[in-house]
Amino acid sequence: MTKFEIPPEHPRAESLHIREKLIENFHRKAVAEAGLIAHGRGEAFDYLLGETTTRHASDAIMTAASSLLTAERPVISVNGNTAALVPNEVVQLAEIARAKIEVNLFYRSLERELAIKELLAKAGAQELLGIGLEASAKISELGSERRHVDPRGILAADVVMVPLEDGDRTEALVNMGKKVIAIDLNPLSRTSQKATITIVDNVVRAMPRLVKAATELEGEKEVRRKILLNFDNTRNLAETITLIQQRLSSLAEKGRYLSLENESREF
């Protein structure tokens, strides 16, 4: 595979680097084909958000960090895209929150699980649940391969974090009485709508912020209690959708919001 050289001055260099990471890990089998498609969908929603972590996402991040730190058996569920984009942050967050890390794939195969294991081990993960036959329990409500879970991890968890997820599993986990934290750029997705705490943000921006928030809130039990009490996911989602609406209205007034050099008005 020849690596694509991204010119540093390219206006979308950062976004292209993220794509390259996914493509590279697709060739290493960690990322599913559909993971590339999912990323494109995420990028489209990121444009609508202005490619920034909104105030509402920051509130959800503080709440998610509080929830993970307060949980008795927190688990971070990892798929191909998450392992490719934020392996270090997954491991750091798991350490601070004393959470287990479990590999759980929609397009499940042992080859992919092992490729993801390698990525996370490189990032410093000591223990990784859900690989191969270790995912010996089943979530009966689910038809997809995501139903195979580790009895020491997702099955027993009280709080599960699911970055880039499918809605049906979020729903099934919530129905099992678990609190589900989702990271999803699309506030309209089933995952976003069904999760207990929805972080509408790019996983590459949200994860470092989650690590920082968890570090700050670690010894702050009372602060965490208040954060959890004051958060309303439905209101947060409504405000996020309103923010997109207002942003689009303001851009619509301008029509062209990026100016062109040597602009000609002749057609």
74 contacts 159 by C-beta, under 8 angstroms: yes
Q: Say how far apart CA 67 and CA 64 lie, in whole Å.
A: 5
Query: Residue 41 interacts with ligand PTJ (CB under 6 A)?
Result: yes
Binds ligand PTJ (CB under 6 A): choice among 34, 110, 229, 248 = 34
For ligand PTJ, which residue of 186, 196, 198, 236 counts as binding (CB under 6 A)?
A: 186
CB 78 within 8 A of CB 104: yes
The answer to whether 105 contacts ligand PTJ (rule: CB under 6 A) is yes
- Does the protein bind ligand PTJ through residue 240 (CB under 6 A)? no
Binding of residue 148 to ligand PTJ (CB under 6 A): no
Looking up tokens 């139903």 gives 147
Residue of 32, 60, 155, 213 interacting with ligand PTJ (CB under 6 A): 32
Q: Which is nearer to ligand PTJ, 149 or 203 (CB)?
A: 203
Q: Is 42 in the site for ligand PTJ (CB under 6 A)?
A: yes
Give exposure, 195-219, as e/b (b: 16+ Cβ within 10 Å): bbbbbbbbbbbbbebbbbbbeebee
Q: Which residues bind ligand PTJ (CB under 6 A)?
A: 32, 34-35, 38-39, 41-42, 45, 79-81, 105-107, 164-166, 183-186, 189, 202-204
